[in-house]
Amino acid sequence: MRSKIVAGNWKMNNNSKETKTLVKGIRKSIKKLPLENTRVLVAPTFVNLMSAIKRIKKSKVEVVAQNMHQENNGAFTGEVSADMLKSIGVKSVIIGHSERRSLFGETDEVLALKVTKAINEGLEVIFCFGEQLEDRKSNNHFTVVKNQLEKGLFHIEANAWSQIVLAYEPVWAIGTGETASPEQAQEMHAFIRNLLQEKYHTSVADNTSILYGGSVKPSNAEEIFSKQDVDGGLIGGASLNVKDFTDIIKAI
Ligand code: PEP
C-alpha cells in the first residue's frame, strides 16, 4: 500500500536557530496526531540537516535533503554527495525541483544521473516535475510531464520504484498563490499513474506515492488531498509555519 506523505521544502530559508525552533515546533504539534500510513518530511538546507536530524529522534518527522550531486566526490565546489548525506543519517533526497531546473540549469539528463546515483546509494528519491504555464495554455502539459518522466526517471528498473516518490508541481503554481484545481491535480495524477502502469506494472502504479505541490495551504489542502490519486503534498511557503504545516498534515 502506498503511503500518504506531507513534505515541507524549506528552500533557502531558516538559519540554525530558526531551523531548531521550527523542527521542535512541528515535532511537538504532530506528536498526538494519528498518522497511520502517513509520513511527515522536512527538507532544511544542507547546513542545517544535521541539527534537524538530532532533533527529530524518536519522533514521526523525517529529514530529507533538497538536492545532491551525481558524483561520489572530487572537484565540484559547493556540492554535496549521496555518501555525505548518508553519513549524517539522511535517507531521502529531493531531485529535480523546478527551481533547480530553471535557476541552476539542471537538465533532464543531469537529473537522470542524480536519480541513478541516489538509487544506487540506497536513498529514496522525491522526484519533482511539472509543466510551465505556457505548456498548460497550449494544452501540452501531458506531453511535457511524460517527457520529463521518460528522460529523468524511466531508466530506473521496476524493482527500484520502492525508492521513488513522485511530486507533480505545475511551475505556474509554485510560490505564486495560484493552485491547480483539485480536478486538474487528479487528472494529471491519474495520467501519471497510468503511465507507470504502461511502462512498468500495476504494482508500481498502485504502490507509488504521487504528491501534489504548488501553493498548498490549510484552506485548500483537504480538497486537493481528497482526490483519489493525490497521496499528499510537497509544501513550500506554508511549511515554514508550524500551525499551517500542522493543519495541512491534519488535512491528510
Ligand atoms: C515547492 O517549492 O515545492 C512549493 C510547492 O512551493 P509553494 O508551496 O510555496 O508553492
CA 174 to ligand 1: nearest atom:
10
Q: Any catalytic annotation for residue 169?
A: yes
Indicate the range of 59-63, 80-84, 176-180 predicted with least confidence. Answer: 176-180
- Residue 176 pLDDT greater than 90, yes or no: no
In this structure, the residue with its CA closest to atom 6 of ligand 1 is 236
Section 157-167 average pLDDT: 98
Catalytic residue, chosen from 62, 69, 97, 106, is: 97
- Residue 26 pLDDT greater than 90, yes or no: yes
- Residue 177 pLDDT greater than 90, yes or no: no
Could you tell which of 64, 127, 215 is best to mutate to test the pocket of ligand 1, judged by most ligand atoms within 8 Å of the CB?
Answer: 215
Concatenated DSSP letters of the chain: -PPEEEEEE-TT---HHHHHHHHHHHHHHHTTS--TTEEEEEE--HHHHHHHHHHTTTSSEEE-BS---SSSSSS-TT---HHHHHHTT--EEEE--HHHHHHS---HHHHHHHHHHHHHTT-EEEEEE---HHHHHTT-HHHHHHHHHHHHTTTS-GGGGGGEEEEE--GGGTTSS----HHHHHHHHHHHHHHHHHHT-HHHHHH--EEEESS--HHHHHHHHTSTT--EEEESGGGGSHHHHHHHHHH-
Cα of 235 to ligand 1 centre, how many Å? 5
> Using a 6 Å CB cutoff, which residues line ligand 1?
9, 169, 174-175, 213-216, 234-238
Cα of 49 to ligand 1 centre, how many Å? 19
- Residue 87 pLDDT greater than 90, yes or no: yes
